[in-house]
Structure 1
Amino acid sequence: MLLVIGIVIPLLLIFWQSVYTDQGWDWLAPIRTIASHDLFGVLLQTLWLGVCVVAGTTLLALPLAWMMAKTRMGRHRWVDVVLMIPFMTPPYIGSMGWILFMQKGGYLQQWLPGSGVWSESFFSFGGMVLIMCLHLFPFLYLLLRDAMIRIGGHLEEAGAVHGAGPGYRFRKIMLPLLLSSYGMGAMLVFVKTIAEFGTPATFGRRIGYYVMTSEIHKYISSWPIDFGKATSLASILLSVCLVMWYMQSTVSRRFTYRLVGGKGQRTKRYTLRGAAGVACVSYMGLLLVLSVGIPYFSVIAASLMKLRGTGLSMDNLTLDHYKELLSWGSVSLRALGNSLGLSLAASTVAVLLGSGFALAVGKSQRRMQRVIDLFSLLPNTVPGIVMVVGLILFWNSPWLPATLYNTYGMVVLTYVILFLPYTVQYVKANFTQIDGTLFQAGQVFGGGPLMILRRILLPLIAPGMLAGWIMTFTIAARELVGSLLVLPPSMQTSATYIFAQFEQGQVSLGMAMAVVSVGMTVVLLLLVETLNSKRKWNAS
């Protein structure tokens, strides 16, 4: 019922808007909209962008996941926190950072005057794919790393005993066991890519590469406003993502294996020496520089500049923007507090609801379980701006006895609905690999349902719950589209404050807010990671 009220009905309202025209019902209206407005090419560009970003994130995330799960480099847990910074950063902030770094007369050309050729080649489709891959690969990396950790070392040792080399063992043992988790991650990366608005609105518009979300935004925000055309385009994206969900669900059901049992297991760790160790460290260092170093250098440099046209020099740096930002009682400080409070509330509610839905979905073997799984993933299958419009249409309906619209509760509900799929997928990935004999053993030894839940189930799915909480918090803290549309009057969050500063030409003040808000999130993540490490040490 919660999924129906919170997700299904708003999406049905969107569908109704897309097929009900002035002439009545027109079930082919979405297709007619694309055909009559020459949007078929935009649809193909959107799909091609999604495919390229999935391929790029795979190339970035898979080697890193292996290094952190199967070598001693996994002891450096700070890497996981640092790698979450790109995902915590609003996409348009990261894009602006790269634009400031690579544009003509940008920071790169100020250091290397002869790098103009690099700048020209960067502002292309390949550069757009690179920016989006560097933003989204941490999500796929976390899924793959956790899946590799659950693969016991005895499986690889059995392959080695039978004469299989490292490459053969990885291809025949590791990859099939990773396929289920990879399918989940690849699907969500694809959906996130084709539903992204920030990067296409900044970088894509500059290179002339338009996608479906930019067209939807045009119909919603530009006069004359046409919700019918916008929701028609959204319904096409929804159909594409439903096909992706069906393919992922089929792969998961076929390639899900029980890896967590009652006998215990140990992870095989490889020792990196010589050229292999240098290559792994170099790869990680290059990835950190590209995903965190370059964009955040640009963001921090812009936040410290007195005059943007003067360039990088010591006499052009100032902290006045931070002083103005953090002054007591200022609008910016209240915006930071609002973001923190709303994100904490939304992530906590999302973990509680998402864990319940993930346990109800189970291994998706029954039809009702697959339906619940589909409903829980729907918010990630449509552009966020369209989902928010559906929520507004529903909560503004005159037949409702009470409404949350124009309240803080509406903001929390919007965040929960938008980011619920992350918790569901993380917890589901952990739950589907738990052997049912563990619960049977608990019943044999006299454990009741509450005891089994507390002593067996919750400890095994706790990593997925924690990962889902962290993911929801980091995304909610920088959510822009939902905040712009549902925040009560005179209330701002850090994302809307940054957006407003860009609109008003105060780029340095907006960049300063980006640095402070992401810094607060990193501190919270470090605290959570420290507590989690202490819990594991005490358990051992």
Structure 2
Amino acid sequence: MKPVVVDNNRIFRRVGVILALFLLTISIGVPLLLIFWQSVYPDGQWDWMAPIRTITGQHLSGVLLNSVWLGICVVAVTTLLALPLAWMMAKTRMGQHRWVDVILMIPFMTPPYIGSMGWILFMQKGGYLQQWVPSAASWSELFFSFWGMVLIMSLHLFPFLYLLLRDAIIRIGGNLEEAGAVHGGRAGYRFRRIILPLLLSSYGMGIMLVFVKTIAEFGTPATFGRKIGYYVMTSEIHKYISSWPIDFGKATSLASVLLSVCLVMWYMQSAMSRKFTYRLVGGKGQRSKRYSLRGGAGWLCGLYLALLLILSVGIPYFSIIAASTMKLRGSGLSFDNLTLDHYRELLSWGSVSMKAIGNSLGLSLAASTVAVIIGTGFALTIGKSSSFMQRVIDLFSLLPNTVPGIVMVVGLILFWNSPWMPFTLYNSYGMVVLTYVVLFLPYTVQYVKSSFTQIDGTLFQAGQVFGGKPLYILRRILLPLIIPGMLAGWMMTFTIATRELVGSLLILPPSMQTSATYIFAQFEQGQVSLGMAMAVVTVGMTVLMLLGIEVLNSKRKWNAS
């Protein structure tokens, strides 16, 4: 008889796939299914039309149209902001200034509701702009409108689209444009018939993310939108869950409709990506064509970049810092009205604000650590997505990034607060950590997967040839090579978790606050200076921690070299 050979690697892969599917099912799949179930099974009876009846019968169809129209307009404005900048940074010598990319990431690190509060303080009646230019009162009236809200959200989201488009333009070789020029195509014709079709795949992914993040945003509609009377789906869902009388039926109906809109958008993006995906990187290499900026063109590009930086970073952060250092808001901008008392009050030991900071740091550290452990396991299980089950795991792990956060939170509440559960996490510290992990897991999975798929399999084979056991190969070959991806995923999860608002508002225990909910509460209660001081401290701590990790990572690379 022939001896039976047991393939341990195959067994480990199967166990990993089964475990990954189980974890993704109970953490993402079941909560989303419960939303649909609750919305079509109200009062113990099937009613497939209940979500549509809720939208049309409660005068909420206008709110749905508001959300969709807001998403469309923000996509259009972000395109107008990001596409020229991406072309300039990819096709001209301006791309040599790498500090621009660093500064453009500041809006991403800034919570959206803090940016909108900064704009409100700057443009409101008697605000900082009118203190400098008293004749700017008419500008304030124009700003506090729907298009002002679109501008605020676009300035926060355009870095997403910019980075995607810039990288896509860089991958387009200059030989394609030169071939068009040889056949008589002018610059505008070459851009329209060569560059734009090659950008459609990346552009589709970018606008899908921008659209989903826009209709899923809660902070800006809750601050600026409520001020102008513009209500969207997220604010209505939050109202039905957090305000008496609580109505989970209406909340789940709205959540299921919002989820359906996002899934339709995701399907359209997938179809566009399949149709307009081209292979641009080959074995021959390529040379990117760069244009020189001389005279008026150079000045125009520099002015455009400066204006973007002022609008996206300068004005919001000036307002935030100015508001956090004012003694009396009514006294205006003057040196004798500056103080650091708000920071002293904020950082006094044992205060509510210090407890909120501690809660944010503790929750974010716990969530990012758990997410990087689970996400690494998922990424190693997914590998290069060669099998059907691996592709299913990859799709499920990305769902929280394509589903509005408030929808995911509602599903988690329904699941972990169900009466048939043997135990409940709802209204506990563990529920907050679980929610953060589920919401931000895609970042860790994608970063680690990107590092893992770049590793040549011959390295592991060489380790096996020289007698290395699986644990030894994992410790000495695999982990050192994927640690940069794990660290990047950890930093991204930590950064976003420290500023997460909508999930914290819905699932935090009654006596607990985080820095995000503290800022929101202070702004609601009129204590703007304390809220802005907390915003400066929170963003400052996050930046310092990220810089420290980057320094440690740089030292590790230097020692390795």
TM-score, normalised to structure 2, is: 0.83
Aligned mates of 2:446, 2:47 — CA distance in 1: 35
Find the counterpart in structure 1 of residue 156 from structure 2: 135
Greater C-alpha Rg = 2
Instruction: Identify the match of residue 200 of structure 1 among 215, 221, 232.
Output: 221
Deviations 1:254-295 (A, max 9, x none): 333444556655655444332222222211111111111111
1:379 is matched with which residue: 400, 405, 411? 400
- C-alpha spacing 1:539/1:515, structure 2 compared with 1 (3 Å): same
Deviation string, structure 1 residues 441-481 (Cα, Å, up to 9, x no partner): x599979899999999997x999877655543332121012
Q: How does 1:59-98 map to 2 (within 5 A)?
A: 59-98=80-119
Amino acid at match of 1:92: Y
Whole-angstrom CA distance in 1 between matches of 2:559 and 2:201: 31
Q: In the aligned structure 1, how far is the partner of 2:210 from the partner of 2:388?
A: 25
Query: Is the CA contact 1:304–1:319 (under 8 Å) kept in the aligned structure 2?
Result: yes
Match runs of 1:184-263 below 5 Å: 184-260=205-281
Q: Distance in 1 between matches of 2:161 and 2:542?
A: 20
2:141 alignment partner in structure 1: 120
> Are the counterparts in 2 of residues 101 and 298 from structure 1 also a CA contact under 8 Å?
yes
Give 1:499 shift. 2.2
Indicate yes or no: 2:126 matched with 1:105: yes
Pairing partner for 2:204 from 159, 183, 194: 183
Distance across 2 between alignment mates of 1:462 and 1:276: 43
1:311 corresponds to 2:355: no
Q: Compared with structure 1, are the counterparts of its residues 491 and 210 closer, same or farther at alpha carbon in structure 2 (3 Å cutoff)?
A: closer
CA shift, 1:41, in A, is: 1.9
Indicate the larger mover: 284-293 or 155-164.
Answer: 155-164
Check whether the contact 1:238–1:382 (CA below 8 A) recurs between aligned residues. yes
Q: Specify whether residues 24 and 426 from structure 1 end up closer, same or farther in structure 2 by C-alpha distance, changes over 3 A only.
A: same
Aligned residues: 534
- Once the two structures are superposed, residues 74-106 of structure 1 have per-residue CA deviations (whole angstroms, 9 ceiling, x without a partner) of 333332232222222222222121111111111
**1:264–1:354 CA distance, 2 compared to 1 (3 A):** farther
* Aligned-partner residue type, residue 356 of structure 2: A
Q: Which amino acid aligns with 2:539?
A: V
Query: C-alpha separation between the residues in 2 aligned to 1:539 and 1:61?
Result: 38
Aligned positions of 1:290-329 closer than 5 A: 290-329=311-350
Q: Shift in Å at residue 164 of structure 1?
A: 4.9
Of 337-346 and 58-67, the range deviating more from structure 2 = 337-346
Could you tell me which runs of 5 or more consecutive residues in structure 1 were left unpaired when the two chains were aligned.
none
C-alpha displacement at 1:502, in angstroms? 2.5
1:512 aligns with 2:547: no
Q: Identity across aligned pairs (percent)?
A: 81
Shifted more, 160-169 versus 233-242: the winner is: 160-169
Distance 1:314 1:444, change over 3 A: closer
Using the TM superposition, give the Cα deviation of residue 340 of structure 1 relative to its aligned residue in structure 2, in angstroms.
Answer: 3.4
CA distance in 1, matches of 2:549, 2:84: 26
Do the aligned residues in 1 keep the contact of 2:219 with 2:502 (CA within 8 Å)? no
Change (3 A) 1:382 1:162: same
Shifted more, 478-487 versus 69-78: the winner is 69-78
Match of residue 33 from structure 2 = 12
DSSP 3-state at the match of 1:223: coil
Shift in CA distance, 396/250, structure 1 to aligned 2, threshold 3 Å? same
The 1-side partners of 2:475 and 2:183 are apart by 40
Among 45, 52, 59, the alignment partner of 1:31 is 52
1:330–1:74 CA distance, 2 compared to 1 (3 A): farther
**1:35-81 Cα deviation digits (max 9, x unpaired):** 21122122112111110111111111222223333333333333223
* Partners of 2:259 and 2:407 within 8 A in 1: no
- Inter-partner Cα distance in structure 1 for 2:245 and 2:149: 30
Picking from 31, 46, 49, the partner of 2:70 is: 49
Distance 1:31 1:145, change over 3 A: same
The answer to whether the Cα contact below 8 Å between 1:11 and 1:387 also exists between their aligned partners in 2 is: yes
- Structure 2 contact 165–202 (Cα < 8 Å) conserved: yes
Structure 1 pair 181/474, CA: closer, same or farther in 2 (3 Å)? Answer: farther
User: Residues 382-435 of structure 1, C-alpha deviation per residue, up to 9 Å, x if partnerless?
Assistant: 442332232133223455455544554432321121123445567789999x8x
Point out the more displaced range, 518-527 or 476-485: 518-527
User: Of the candidates 290, 295, 300, which is equivalent to residue 274 of structure 1?
Assistant: 295
**Partner secondary structure for residue 16 of structure 1:** helix
Code of the aligned partner of 2:201 = S
SS class of match (1:186): helix
Q: Does the C-alpha gap of structure 1 residues 155 and 430 become closer, same or farther in structure 2, counting only changes over 3 Å?
A: farther
State the secondary structure of the residue aligned to 1:105: coil
Residue of structure 1 equivalent to 2:13: none
1:4 offset after TM fit, Å? 0.8
Q: 1:274 and 1:527 mapped to 2: Cα distance?
A: 42
Identify the residue that residue 10 of structure 2 maps to in structure 1. none
- Alpha carbons of 1:408 and 1:221: their partners in 2 closer, same or farther (altered >3 Å)? closer
Residue 340 of structure 1, aligned match among 354, 358, 361: 361
**TM-score (norm. length: structure 1):** 0.86
Counterpart amino acid of residue 26 in structure 2 = I
CA contact 2:364–2:497 (8 Å) conserved in 1: yes
Question: Per the alignment, do residues 468 and 412 of structure 1 end up closer, same or farther by CA in structure 2, a change over 3 Å counting?
Answer: same
Q: 1:195 to 1:94 in 2, by over 3 A?
A: same
Q: How much has 1:236 moved relative to structure 2? A: 0.7
Q: Which amino acid aligns with 2:147?
A: G
The counterpart of 2:521, out of the listed 480, 495, 500, is: 500
